[in-house]
């Protein structure tokens, strides 16, 4: 059976070939909360992402809504509340954030803050009795991730990490094809993510707020893609950093870091992240073909191809009722709360990534391969 015919058959029978992936499809129908009420989100942080990306997506959600905002800018908070029909009481400052426990309209807190603040606000939200969506990376250390998981478990609250690509149609189709053998036995994955950081004053270039450089930002996309495209957990990592410390942007954090991952099947992943060039690419190669995405993980405008040794056929996943990956992830957590299921990208997923991130840094620092499977 040739590669293109196999693709067509797999696309037609995807639910039979990989039923576990159907939980991740952007077309999954959300379940209504008791009484038909949409679950309310409080967005913590009205920066570019929280205000400019996430809040507009509630208009596309079927089971989620904006219920409150948390910001250090009272005027901005009041303006956003007015624009979205929220009462003045739905605007919180960082100083009075903990009083959100008294607001029954807020079911979920979405933490859209600098990395170093993720753990604090996740733990405080759980103590306030709220479920939590936390942006990636989950935190800046394994210890913080573990504390976040423990706090949500103690409070019996759901914890989900904002891995939006698990709800993005091209990445979903690539995962499904890879898992079902469309490219044959997976031999190699290459994934590169980066953009040009131009302003040294940005918080992402301040170690105290970011926890690191490109690896703690764009590197998470490369690491995630290597894991979800292979469907395996890596057993070893070898990393190398390349940073011009005379560049004022990189006095505190790394610019480019590259790492190779080894998997139990024998597959290899070559990964990169960088803050000095624009990259957004995922390529999987198997012994019978390849699956390629470029751009792979943008907010919109992604593309996907399959072929034996090139871009022979461009694929467009069938449209679903959800318009975007963002609405998909927002509704997914709401659905999990209603049904009692665990999120497909919960705290354990964020912790797994952070364990690997720490070993990538260690490998680059020590100049050697680090085993991830406990073997010497």
Distance CA 322, CA 64 (A): 12
Closest Cα partner for 41 from 69, 13, 62? 69
Active site residue 110: no
146-169 CB burial, b ≥16 within 10 A, e <16: ebbbebbeebebbbbbbbbbbbbb
DSSP state of 346: B
Cβ–Cβ under 8 Å, residues 121 and 44: yes
Cβ–Cβ under 8 Å, residues 269 and 261: yes
Q: Please name the residues in contact with 108: beta carbons below 8 A apart, sequence gap of 6 or more.
A: 39, 40, 41, 42, 64, 130, 131, 132, 133, 333, 334, 337
- Residue 256: its H or E element: strand 256-262
Cβ–Cβ under 8 Å, residues 186 and 174: no
Tokens standing for residue 103: 């607001």
**Strand 236-242 with 370-371, pairing:** antiparallel
Coil, strand or helix: which one is 273? strand
Distance CA 42, CA 37 (A): 16
Residue tagged active-site, from 110, 121, 163, 221 = 221
Residue tagged active-site, from 136, 158, 163, 275 = 136
Coil, strand or helix: which one is 29? coil
Distance CA 324, CA 376 (A): 44
Distance CA 366, CA 257 (A): 14
CA angle 285, 289, 292 (to 5 degrees): 55
Active site residue 275: no
Q: Half-sphere exposure (CA, 13 Å, Cβ side) for 354? A: 22
DSSP state of 319: P
Distance CA 298, CA 185 (A): 27
By annotation, the residues acting in catalysis are: 136, 221
């Amino acid at each position: 059976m040739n590669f293109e015919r196999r693709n067509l058959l797999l696309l037609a029978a995807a639910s039979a070939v990989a039923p576990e992936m159907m939980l991740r499809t952007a077309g999954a129908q959300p379940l209504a909360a008791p009484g038909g009420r949409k679950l309310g989100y409080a967005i913590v942080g009205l920066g570019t992402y929280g205000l400019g990306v996430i809040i507009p997506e509630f208009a596309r959600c079927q089971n989620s809504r904006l219920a409150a905002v948390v910001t250090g800018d009272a005027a901005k908070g009041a303006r956003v509340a007015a624009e979205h029909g929220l009462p003045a009481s739905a605007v919180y400052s960082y100083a009075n954030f903990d009083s959100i426990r008294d607001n029954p309209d807020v079911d979920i807190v979405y933490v859209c803050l600098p990395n170093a603040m993720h753990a604090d606000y996740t733990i405080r939200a759980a103590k306030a009795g709220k479920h939590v969506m936390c942006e990636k990376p989950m935190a800046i250390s394994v210890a913080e991730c573990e504390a976040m998981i423990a706090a949500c478990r103690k409070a019996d609250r759901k914890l989900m990490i904002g891995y939006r690509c698990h709800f993005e149609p091209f990445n979903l189709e690539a995962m499904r094809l890879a898992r079902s053998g469309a490219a044959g036995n997976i031999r190699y994955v290459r994934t590169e993510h980066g953009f040009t950081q131009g302003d040294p004053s940005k918080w992402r270039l301040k170690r105290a707020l970011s926890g690191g450089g490109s690896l703690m930002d764009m590197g998470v996309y490369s690491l995630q893609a290597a894991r979800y495209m292979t469907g395996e957990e890596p057993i070893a990592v070898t990393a190398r950093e390349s940073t011009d410390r005379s560049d004022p942007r990189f006095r505190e954090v790394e610019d480019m870091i590259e790492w190779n991952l080894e998997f139990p099947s024998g597959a290899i992943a070559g990964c990169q992240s960088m803050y000095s060039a624009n990259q957004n690419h995922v390529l999987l190669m198997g012994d019978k073909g390849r699956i390629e995405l470029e751009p792979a993980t943008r907010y919109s405008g992604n593309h996907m191809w399959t072929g034996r040794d090139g871009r022979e056929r461009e694929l467009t996943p069938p449209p679903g009722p959800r318009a975007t990956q963002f609405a998909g992830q927002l509704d997914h957590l709401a659905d999990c709360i209603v049904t009692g299921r665990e999120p497909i990208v919960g705290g354990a997923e964020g912790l797994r990534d952070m364990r690997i991130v720490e070993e990538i840094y260690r490998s680059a620092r020590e100049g050697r391969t680090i085993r991830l499977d406990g073997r010497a």
